[in-house]
Amino acid sequence: MAKPSLLPPRGERKPGERRSLTPQRPAFSIWYVLGLLLLLAVAQAVFLGTGGRSIPYSEFKALVRANQVTEVTVGDQTVAGKLKEPRGEGRQRSDAFMTTRIEDPKLVEDLEAHQVKYTGEVVSRWLPEILGWVIPLLLLVALWSFFFRRMGGAEGGVMSFGRSRAKIYADDDVKVSFADVAGVDEAEDELREIVEFLKNPKKYTVLGGHIPKGVLLVGPPGTGKTLLARAVAGEAKVPFFSLSGSEFVEMFVGVGAARVRDLFQQAEAKSPCIVFIDELDALGKARVQSPMGSHEEREQTLNQLLAEMDGFDSKKAVIIMGATNRPEVLDVALLRPGRFDRQVLVDKPDINGREAVLKIHVRTVKVSPEVDLRTIASRTVGFAGADLANLVNEAALLAARKDKTAVDMRDFDEAIDRLIAGLEKKRVMNETERRTVAYHESGHAIVASALPGLDPVHKISIVQRGFGALGYTMHLPLEDRYLRTRTDLQYQLAVLLGGRTAEEIALGEISTGAQNDLQRASDLARAMVTEWGMSDAVGAVSYAGESRGRFLEVGLAPERGHYAEHTAQLIDSEVKRILTEAHDLARTTLTARRAYLEVVTTRLLEREVMEGAELREILRAELPVPVAPEPDAPTA
């Protein structure tokens, strides 16, 4: 006969209650210590306390001489006895008394003279002695446990700081599936094989093959690496261990290695399952020899992880998944076959992927029928999945702020402007500065519209936004592009320098508003020379310094490549030549369209914002070309 289970049946859980796979450990409470101290205090009062009314020793001697005392008990520190008649008032009325013993050699003579019965007392000291060392010890243990829990050294007690701190989700607690993931079709196809193995491992092991032990998800931040790992667990219906790489490393040497061992023991017990380590670069950074010394705890933890993955039985149906946006800093031993065998790229989505991601995020948002997600996707080039989720949320908040019943296209446009250009400012500029900004943005827009092969202008604004942006010109890419020719880059440089050139032509003066344009143009021109070999004088040679991060730009000082000083001078001269040619191209383009520059600038000063369609209508109109003023004759 089967024994009745003391646990509630699986199907009788309360709604929203999560079933934990981690065994519950008894929790330590400070109230246990306080209760024990109270019990000891009561015991001391009962066993060590003495009854009776307390009187001075002089009064005790007077009562003896007056024959009022019948018997006494002489102790080491006290003298207790009884009187012939009770004394006192109320509850204090009693025939018992107690007084503090004083060194009195004639005490026995006085007691015998007045026929008082007397006896001695031997007091047991075991209880005070025990309390003297038990109470401090209990307080020390309580404080030790309290501070260990505060420092995060343990999750369940003083001696459990070596246990893994992974969050364990049951097979039916992971509600994410591949239907909730979009824009990463290639990565999704790669991971479907993992799901099939977890569902039916014999299909692969019967032929002698084995599934990869580890799968490393690499890609820019916000592309959905963690979401993909949860979707794999949700599709396979297996337990899911989730933790960060930084949770292994502690201030105590050896704790991280102990947690790695405990993690793999738990994973083997729950197989088939998935162990997901997010931000793997915090744990698996390459081991290097440094004169400043190495990080002992991190290296021990990494060595333990390498040993566990190397000795891990692939037939246990446990998949180790990691995620990082800095794969270039990982230790090479971690990426070799037998550990993280497969690397899956989770890149930013293209226009079709962005549209699919937007469709997922607008499921819970009331959207107007006029909203065109394809147009929104085309305007959000370079957005990751997290950026698109934030975009939908910002649009919903803007619509709610205006008391709308649905989110319309205008809310999405404003949300895109806010995410790309920054928050709109309400500061007032003087008329001279407004006119300079208007000419500057008009120069960008006209050059971008006049040169072939560039993305069309979507919006021009002279409203202040973000950190120091006095205006902006936004483009609407028609398609995602992954390659740029030298001509494309030269035209892009002309657009960047178009604002400064417009100030020169229209105002005869330049301002500080082109700082960001000059920086971007200089970086692009230098990359053309040193990285892409687009200079005939320098040649098809790469003079770039240290390789940059593939997905994450780290704020370090620029590294110079290995080349001689005369090569550096040649590179500088070529960069200057390219920028000069781009400046000349922008000047020629704007000089030929001088009348359009005035019209666009006047419209911007009137409305502050101009749509791309209106700009194209102005550029298609027949405007008189102004006659350039003759230069003044030189004076003698």
Q: Is the Cβ–Cβ distance between 570 and 537 less than 8 Å?
A: yes
Closest C-alpha among 374, 325, 369 to residue 354: 374
Q: Regarding beta strands 78-87 and 69-74, do their DSSP bridges make them parallel or antiparallel, or are they unpaired? A: antiparallel
Q: Is the Cβ–Cβ distance between 510 and 447 less than 8 Å?
A: no
Closest C-alpha among 450, 444, 429 to residue 474: 444
Closest C-alpha among 472, 498, 356, 495 to residue 417: 472
Angle, CA 427 vertex, CA 425 and CA 433 arms, to 5°:
115
Closest C-alpha among 326, 610, 200 to residue 441: 610
Tokens of 552: 């994450």
Q: How many CB atoms lie within 10 A of CB 36?
A: 14
Q: Is the Cβ–Cβ distance between 50 and 80 less than 8 Å?
A: yes
End-to-end CA distance of the chain: 122
In sign, the C-alpha dihedral spanning 567, 573, 576, 581 is negative
Contacts of the segment 16-23: beta carbons below 8 A, 24+ positions apart? 18/169, 18/170, 18/173, 19/170, 19/172, 19/173, 20/168, 20/170, 21/168, 21/169, 21/170, 21/239, 21/270, 22/168
Distance CA 493, CA 578 (A): 9
Closest C-alpha among 114, 97, 115 to residue 50: 97
Distance CA 475, CA 454 (A): 9
In sign, the C-alpha dihedral spanning 91, 95, 96, 98 is positive
What is the Cα Rg of the chain in Å? Answer: 41
Neighbour-count burial for 404-423, b at 16+ CB within 10 Å, e otherwise: eeebbebbbbbbbbbbbbee
Q: How far is CA 300 from the centre of its chain?
A: 25
Q: Is the Cβ–Cβ distance between 216 and 245 less than 8 Å?
A: no
Distance CA 403, CA 386 (A): 26
Distance CA 408, CA 109 (A): 110
Give yes or no: 441 in active site.
yes
Helix (H, G, I), strand (E, B) or coil at 79: strand
Q: Which of 188, 190, 297, 441 is catalytic?
A: 441
Alpha helices in 451-512 (DSSP H): 486-496, 498-507
Strands of the sheet with 342-345, listed across from one edge: 167-169, 240-244, 273-278, 318-324, 214-218, 342-345
- Helix/strand/coil (H, E, C) string of 529-546? HHCCCCCCCCCCCCCECC
What is the set of active-site residues?
Answer: 441
